[in-house]
Amino acid sequence: MSFIDKLNYYTKRKSFKYGIPFLIMIVAGSFGLQQFSNLRYQYTKKQPVTPDEMKKYGVSMKNRQEVTLESEYDKVKSVDIEHWENKRGPRPWEEEGLPSTAKH
């Protein structure tokens, strides 16, 4: 049998038709996942921003002792959720300061 005859014989087999592409997808997928996992571990090693760095950029941070779950709960508890008004935000295509008078 020549090389062409062997190639024709194997290309007609189901294991060659479906198995080889499947194995190629498995191997290529592992290399693709390796790139994504490298990205994940690359950015998880970053250190958090310190309050000194934040002050340098003009952002004021509260101390950890100032913000507690209980203090935030007290703030939320004092909000009146029974009486509220729905306010429509401006749309990009509307002129600023003018409310839309068109009714649909």
Residue 92, SS3 per DSSP:
coil
Q: At 87, list the tokens.
A: 């306010």
Buried b (16+ CB within 10 A) or exposed e, 82-94: eeeeeeeeeeeee
Residues 4-46 have pLDDT tens digits of: 888 888 888 888 888 889 999 999 999 989 988 888 888 777 7
- At 102 the pLDDT is 53
Average pLDDT over residues 99-104: 54
Rg of the chain, C-alpha, whole Å: 31
Residues 83-96 have pLDDT tens digits of: 888 988 888 888 77
* DSSP state letters, 28-91: HHHHHHHHHHHHHHHHHTPPPPPHHHHHHTT-----TTT--HHHHHHHHHTS--SS----PPPP
Question: What phi and psi values does residue 8 have, to the nearest 5 degrees?
Answer: -65, -40
- At 90 the pLDDT is 87
- At 23 the pLDDT is 92
Residues 44-81 have pLDDT tens digits of: 777 787 888 888 888 887 777 788 899 889 989 988 88
Q: Tell me which residue of 58, 41, 40, 36 sits closest to 49, measured CA to CA.
A: 58
The rounded mean pLDDT for the chain is: 84
